[in-house]
Amino acid sequence: MSDKIEKIALVSGANRGIGAAVVAGLAKAGVHVLLGARDLAAGEATAAPLRAAGGSVTAVQLDVTDPQSVAALAEKLADDYGHIDILVNNAGVGLDYVPGMSPVEKMEATLAINVVGGLRLTEAMLPLLEKSAAARIVNVSSELASFGLRHDPAWEHHDKVMPIYAASKAAVNALTVGYALALAPKGIKVNAICPGYTATAATNFMPDRTVEQAAVVILQMALLENDGPTGGFYNDQGALPW
């Protein structure tokens, strides 16, 4: 564990699953991590053991669908730190298989969290990221959004049909490309990643891929050096087709 905090990161949806593993990994790398959680008590329960293990982790209340929650957090971080260096847009849902909702309701709810929520958080944090010497934004996407892979009959997930989730993550990918271009003059790198099909509550804890394995590519993109890529889509094996 590093003694010297050199960077500050905010991770959304970090009280459990892949987000919690990203927080642990960033803390281990010596980053001060703001652990975003809709339920602050749940966030604190995840943060406490990480702090006990020597990590510099602070739980913060964050619901990406709630403009007041996002604005209040931006104000708090401006007061407490004046800047942040890393934003991981990890909060996300897949509602395709949820019973009792129409496809339109599923789409509206999914877009509100995965797309509008991530955009809201990015926009609120941009003034703080612009004050960093080398800011990084990592958008947690999914291979299910890859048109290139979707059209490959040999692709291992060819049978997974989740059009609503996939459409939301395709929008995340489009935002990634656009923001990467717009923010390049400011030295802010923006990349989309797929963590891989991982055992979390979102997948009913299938298959056996761990959240630590899923976090690897997120950590890589969060801690990119200045000569690293921007505007790309990656998993832990390398670049993914759009």
Ligand X SMILES: NC(=O)c1ccc[n+]([C@@H]2O[C@H](COP(=O)([O-])OP(=O)(O)OC[C@H]3O[C@@H](n4cnc5c(N)ncnc54)[C@H](OP(=O)(O)O)[C@@H]3O)[C@@H](O)[C@H]2O)c1
The binding track of 125-144 with respect to ligand X, each residue x by CB under 6 A or -, is: ---------------x-x--
Residue 18 touching ligand X (CB under 6 A): yes
Q: How far is the CB of 144 from ligand X (least distance, A)?
A: 7
Which two tokens mark 95? 């509602």
Nearer of residues 76 and 186 to ligand X, judged by Cβ: 76
**Is 165 labeled as catalytic in the residue annotation?**
yes
Residue 111 touching ligand X (CB under 6 A): no
Contact with ligand X (CB under 6 A) among 7, 8, 11, 13: 13
Which residues contact residue 120 at a Cβ distance below 8 angstroms, ignoring those fewer than 6 apart? 64, 65, 67, 70
Residues 65-94 that bind ligand X (CB under 6 A): 65, 90-94
The helix/strand/coil state of 139 is strand
User: How far apart (Å, rounded) are the C-alpha atoms in residues 38 and 205?
Assistant: 21
Residue 195 touching ligand X (CB under 6 A): yes
Q: How far is the CB of 219 from ligand X (least distance, A)?
A: 14
Given the residues 165, 179, 197, 234, select the one marked as catalytic: 165
b/e 142-167 (16+ beta carbons within 10 angstroms → b): bbbbbeebbeeeeeeeeeeebebbbb
User: How far apart (Å, rounded) are the C-alpha atoms in residues 74 and 65?
Assistant: 14
The binding track of 33-52 with respect to ligand X, each residue x by CB under 6 A or -, is: -----xx-------------
Residues 2 and 26: beta-carbon distance below 8 Å: no
The helix/strand/coil state of 230 is coil
**Could you tell me which of 76, 44, 11 has the C-alpha nearest to residue 219?**
11
Of 26-34, 78-86, 183-191, 197-205, which segment contacts ligand X by CB under 6 A?
197-205
Contact with ligand X (CB under 6 A) among 16, 83, 157, 160: 16
Residues 139 and 191: beta-carbon distance below 8 Å: yes
Of 2-10, 102-110, 178-186, 196-204, which segment contacts ligand X by CB under 6 A?
196-204
Query: On the CB side of 230, how many CA atoms lie within 13 Å of its CA?
Result: 21
Residue 113 touching ligand X (CB under 6 A): yes
Q: How far is the CB of 18 from ligand X (least distance, A)?
A: 4
Query: Known catalytic residues?
Result: 165
Question: Which positions touch ligand X (CB under 6 A)?
Answer: 12-13, 15-19, 38-39, 62-65, 90-94, 113, 117, 140, 142, 194-195, 197-198, 200-203
